[in-house]
Amino acid sequence: MKIVILGYGKMGHEVEQIALQRGHEVAYRIDTEEDWNKNKAEISKCDVVIEFSTPATAISNIGKCFDINIPIVVGTTGWYLHLDEIRKRCEHENQTLFYAPNFSIGMNFVFKLNKEMAKFAQKYDYQLGITETHHIHKLDKPSGTAVKLAEDIIKNNGNYDKWMLKENIDCPSCSDNMLKVSAIREGEIFGIHEITALSECDEITLKHEAFSRKGFATGAVIAAEFIQNKKGIFTMEDLLR
């Protein structure tokens, strides 16, 4: 494949290394509006864009790719409030989008375990909580991964009907049906997600820790391979299925 990397920061560099290792060509590395405008005609002839930018620019980047009919893999999180409008445009214009709150294969296995633990917790009266820890440069809070974990718990456990950042809750016991999410930003941590289930008798902890960006980059390149010759919106669940 001829790949365009949109957002050539630390993740962009990691994606480049994985793409080259898997035998692909990195045709363009786009980091500014000027880069995009200068190369737009040639970018449209490439096979796929892999995007790791910021929540503020992700929507615009998706739109740019739709405008020139090039499939896009989006690794940025924090833009999902706009997902419905992006979905409608993607379907209406017959475009291709792959997005995921987390591209790590291991984390996607934890997503499956989290759903089962949510059901178990309701049946046996365990209280659930989520804590995520990332590097100080991460802009969205909580992480997209933590949001997915929380939403999956709510879908699979009738004791919870909403989630909230712990720091935004006025009183610790405001609502028993509120799932508390803690978000910590410190150092250069690549990503730790913990789901705890607490009862009067014991505690269960489900934890995933990323040791580097390599797992995220590998998943993104595999996603780019997966959507070749496909139309529509796809996630890691589609890929792993």
- Answer yes or no: are the C-beta atoms of 65 and 49 closer than 8 Å: yes
Q: How far is CA 134 from CA 51, 63, 101, in A?
A: 20, 28, 14
In the three-class reduction of DSSP (H, G, I as helix; E, B as strand; rest coil), residue 73 is classed as strand
- Answer yes or no: are the C-beta atoms of 53 and 7 closer than 8 Å: yes
Give the start-end residues of each E strand in the chain. Answer: 2-6, 25-30, 48-51, 72-74, 96-99, 127-134, 162-165, 178-185, 192-198, 203-209, 232-234
Q: Looking at the annotation, which residues are catalytic?
A: 134, 138
